[in-house]
Amino acid sequence: MKKVFFIMACYCLSNSFNGTAQHLNFSGKINSPDTLKILFGSERRIDTLISPTGEFRFSREMDHPELLAIAVFDMKSNEPINFRRFFAGPGSGSLQTELANLGNSEIQLSDPTFNNIYDDFRSRFNPLVSIARKVIDTSYSKQLTSEGRGICNKLVEFINAEEDRVVENFIRRNSDNIVGAYVFNTYFNPKANADKARILYNAFPPPLQHTLYLKDIPGILENAKNVVIGSPAPVITATSLAGSVVELPATGKKYTVIDFWGTWCGPCMRGIDKMKSYFEKYKSSIAFIGLAYNDNKNSVQKVVDEKGIQWPQIINKDQPTDWVKTFNVYAAPTKIVIDRKGVILKIFIGETEEFYSYVDHVDLR
């Protein structure tokens, strides 16, 4: 009986996501005395409308139901004023609201199925996010003792674990629909827990695995399988910020340390001075490589000059190979230690003393 049900579910999904474009018409009015700049769409495509009356009408072709947003931006500063997210499929939709109430406005959809599922997720997840933010804000109070900050940190860890539990349970219950695929893509980190990610991903039927939310997951899981302690490091050649060729790994010559970082990363910036001291201490036996991602040449060059960084720096977006994807990196800083044979010895996530202690005690002979 279960087998028959699964086959029927796949048949229905195949009919829903068969590659034929689906049409959504969305219209309404956002009441405001001012002319509004209204944006509608998703990360894939955004349409813009200037409306003196607050009235709008958008039309959208969709491969499958997806998370959309309607947002209002200030005409002068181009800063967002308010927005509303919702999940919609083909058909029609509308809203009538005051600008101040846009974020909580009621969305009318010809088929509200997916939005109801999405609202169910938000009702479980968003309160935890709000609590975590309040605890984090409290932890920054100057009146808080070190013991109080420690308690706040423990509370945040507990809430984060609860968030993970809510996300995982939601995905397990909704592996038969597109909202489950969206939550997997947005809130579950397959790089951090590849084994569990494989189980969750494989629970989705093929039509959902081919949607924009899940189509990149197999590549991520493949990289996660290849980049593990004890496995050979990927062989890559890149061009450094200074124009020199960097070969990875430096087999037969030195150990290698790759530091994935960014000028936007506070812990990364705070750790530069200590990295400089370890470069001086071990440069004869370790090849240090900096890999800056989500960053640009000018920002990195400025930090390199100001801090006097001497080891090669690679700008990820300027390389033919995406090092972040290849090494399955999901947080900055991430430091990867590779031995002379090109084998990954250790992976450190965060600016942690464990990395420096490990380098001090590893046999570099």
Q: What is the pLDDT of residue 159?
A: 94
Q: Find the DSSP H helices in the chain.
A: 2-16, 113-139, 146-173, 178-187, 194-202, 206-209, 217-226, 266-270, 272-282, 297-307, 323-326, 353-361
- Whole-Å CA distances, 270 to 38, 263, 264, 277, 306: 40, 10, 11, 13, 13
Distance CA 167, CA 184 (A): 8
Query: Stretch 237-243: mean pLDDT, rounded?
Result: 93
Question: pLDDT tens-digit profile of 243-267?
Answer: 999 988 776 778 999 999 999 999 9
pLDDT for 44 = 83
Specify the pLDDT at position 85.
95
CA distances 54 to 39, 47, 50, 76, Å, are 12, 15, 8, 16
CA 276 to CA 307: how far, in whole Å?
A: 9
Question: Which pLDDT band holds residue 365 (cuts at 50, 70, 90)?
Answer: low
CA-closest candidate to residue 60, choices 23, 6, 111, 95: 23
- Please report, for residues 237, 287, 290, 353, the alpha-carbon distance to residue 281 in angstroms, rounded to integers and kept in the order given: 26, 12, 17, 16
For 8-26, how does the pLDDT look when each residue is reduced to its tens digit (9 = 90+)? 444 344 444 555 668 999 9
Rounded distance between C-alpha atoms, residue 95 and residue 337, angstroms: 54
Residue 312: pLDDT over 70: yes
Cα–Cα dist 59/84, whole Å: 17
Q: Where are the alpha helices (DSSP H) in 140-255?
A: 146-173, 178-187, 194-202, 206-209, 217-226
Q: At what angle do helices 194-202 and 146-173 cross, to 10 degrees?
A: 30
Q: Which pLDDT belongs to residue 175?
A: 97
What pLDDT does residue 284 have? 92
| Confidence at 211, pLDDT banded by 50, 70, 90 | very high
Contact 248, 238 (CB under 8 A): yes
> Which domains are delineated in the chain?
18-111 (2.60.40.1120), 114-226 (no CATH), 236-361 (3.40.30.10)
Residue 29 has pLDDT above 70, yes or no: yes
Kindly provide the b/e burial profile for residues 266-283, where b requires at least 16 CB atoms within 10 angstroms of the residue's own CB: eebbebbeebbebbeebe
Mean pLDDT computed over every residue of the chain: 90
Cα–Cα distances in angstroms (integers) from residue 103 to residues 56, 99, 310, in the given order: 17, 8, 49
pLDDT at 247: 86
**Tens digit of pLDDT for each residue in 63-83?**
899 999 999 999 988 999 999
98: CB partners within 8 A, 6+ apart: 30, 31, 32
239 pLDDT band (50/70/90 cuts)? very high
| % residues pLDDT > 90 (the chain) | 74
Residue 311 has pLDDT above 50, yes or no: yes
**At 31, is the pLDDT very low, low, confident or very high (cuts 50, 70, 90)?**
very high
pLDDT band for 3, please (50, 70, 90 cuts). Answer: very low
Side by side, which strands form the sheet with 55-62? Answer: 55-62, 22-31, 91-98, 108-109
Q: pTM of the entire structure?
A: 0.75
Q: For 115, how many CA atoms within 13 A lie in the half-sphere containing its CB?
A: 18
Instruction: Look at 7-11, 65-69, 175-179, 280-284 and tell me which has the smallest mean pLDDT.
Output: 7-11
Evaluate the CA torsion angle 118, 119, 123, 129 in order and state its sign. positive
Nearest to 12 by CA among 174, 184, 205, 185: 205
Query: pLDDT-derived band of residue 2, with 50, 70 and 90 as boundaries?
Result: very low
* CA proximity to 84, closest of 57, 112, 49, 119: 119
Instruction: Answer whether residue 341 shows pLDDT above 80.
Output: yes
Write the pLDDT tens digit of every residue in 47-57.
999 999 999 99
